[in-house]
Amino acid sequence: MQAIEIQKSQKQDTFEGVDFLDIDDLLTEEHQLIRSSIRDFVKKEISPYIESWAQNAYFPESIVKKFGEVGAFGPQIPEEYGGGGLDYISYGLIMQEIERGDSGMRSTASVQGSLVMYPIYKFGSEEQRKKYLPKLASGEMLGCFGLTEPDHGSNPSGMVTNFKDMGDHYLLNGAKMWISNAPKADIAVVWAKNEEGRIHGLIVERGMEGFSTPETHNKWSLRASCTGELVFDNVKVPKENLLPGKSGLGPPLMCLDSARYGIAWGVIGAAMDCYESARKYAAERIQFDKPIASFQLVQKKLSEMLTEITKAQLLAWKVGKMMNEGKAKTVHISMAKRNNVEMALNIAREARQIHGGMGITGEYPIMRHMMNLESVITYEGTHDIHLLILGNEITGIPAFK
């Protein structure tokens, strides 16, 4: 296999934030310090390399330990288990800054924190918390979350992955698909049905016989993160690896709520990056003897971008406040995820037009963000499913059951 040569960009990341309505006034000093530290981390560890990583479909395994060192894994998990003990607005800001760097990088971090550490913390035993959480928080271990199956995406309750009680262990069979972190993960939090058809979570460790993680290749999206399958062929899972806290579809959906909330913040970062790139390019690009920023249609695009980013910031902040107070419901998170991802994708497309032909090159981040967001608008609840979740809330009539 040919060695991949990663090139460091010579372009300086000078991003200083987008805050038209002084939304920083809603943040505490701690929130702003956390955001600054992650912004500096992204400028140093992600921005100089991300275009080369994406162009080469290369996942930098060294970033895992670095994420652990900077506190990007499980910032909302209590400190006693290695987490940051931070609130949900802090978590959102961390996701925003990482996704400004790249959606694939944010996927790596949010899967670890919201879909692996959170279920172990929320539904695991004390022994499981002590065994896994500190190592996941530090980046010593990487985890993944197995819910989606080849034939069951938006309908996870139809899953066929199952386990049987064999007396001194469980026997797990089935497969999961589109799993972020899978090819490099040390553990997988897997959702499967028992013999009565009840869904439970199990912790499956790399090295267990019959457990494999084939990598998904030829992706046009999230090229700097690793994606794969989880295949279980008569895997013997120790009984102590069952998450004892709760069963049913509720627990994995609670995990997804936490992750979707992080997405609602994260995509603001991608939108900001596209907006800032378009604003600077429009000021520098000369056509008809003047900068294209002087033309009405370009000003219209930039004005609409800034307006939509500002609205998304306020929506994310309000849902974050509700998360901190324990008042946020799935429908609130669905609205924020759906609105903000669509906002970011629209901004990426408009920014690409402002950049003209240069917008399709790796000289600018636009096309990379656009391709990434095509995954983000589908995973962890598709754009249409979130619309129908809201429709159900409004009418009381479920449209997808």
Convert the pLDDT of each residue in 156-208 to its tens digit.
Answer: 999 999 999 999 999 999 999 999 999 999 999 999 999 999 999 999 999 99
- Determine the pLDDT at residue 121: 98
C-alpha to C-alpha distance for 46 and 48, rounded to whole angstroms: 6
Judge if 267 and 352 occupy the same domain.
yes
Three-state DSSP state, 194: coil
Cβ atoms of residues 216 and 87 within 8 Å: no
Q: CA-CA distance, 259 to 111, in Å (whole number)?
A: 7
Structure tokens at 315: 């929506």
pLDDT in tens, 324-333: 999 999 999 9
Residue 400, pLDDT score: 80
Count of domains forming the chain: 3
Q: Of 194, 221, 247, which marks where a domain is finished?
A: 247
Instruction: For residues 57 and 339, give the distance between their C-alpha atoms in angstroms, rounded to a whole number.
Output: 29
Is 380 a residue of the active site? yes
Let me know whether 319 and 374 are in one domain: yes
Residues 174 and 206: their CA atoms lie apart, in Å, by: 16
Q: Which domain holds residue 193?
A: 143-247
Please tell me the predicted confidence (pLDDT) of residue 2: 53
Residue 10 is predicted with a pLDDT of 87
- Spans of the chain below 50 pLDDT: 1
- 225 and 263 co-located in one domain: no
Of the candidates 51, 97, 276, 380, the residue annotated as catalytic is 380
Domain containing 112 — which CATH number? 1.10.540.10
Q: Are residues 46 and 57 in the same domain?
A: yes
| Strands 211-212 and 290-291, bridge-based pairing | unpaired
194 domain-assigned: yes
Q: Same structural domain for residues 233 and 207? A: yes
Q: 330 and 316 share a domain?
A: yes
Q: Are strands 286-287 and 227-238 parallel, antiparallel or unpaired?
A: unpaired
Tell how strand 211-212 and strand 199-205 pair up.
unpaired
Looking at the structure, do residues 148 and 184 belong to the same domain, yes or no? yes
For residues 314 and 235, membership in a common domain is answered with no
Q: Are residues 178 and 92 in the same domain?
A: no
Amino acid 73: pLDDT: 98
CATH code for the domain in which residue 158 is found: 2.40.110.10
**Same domain assignment for residues 34 and 151:** no
Which backbone phi and psi does 228 adopt, to 5 degrees? -165, -165
- Asked which of 247, 264, 282 is the last residue of a domain, the reply is 247
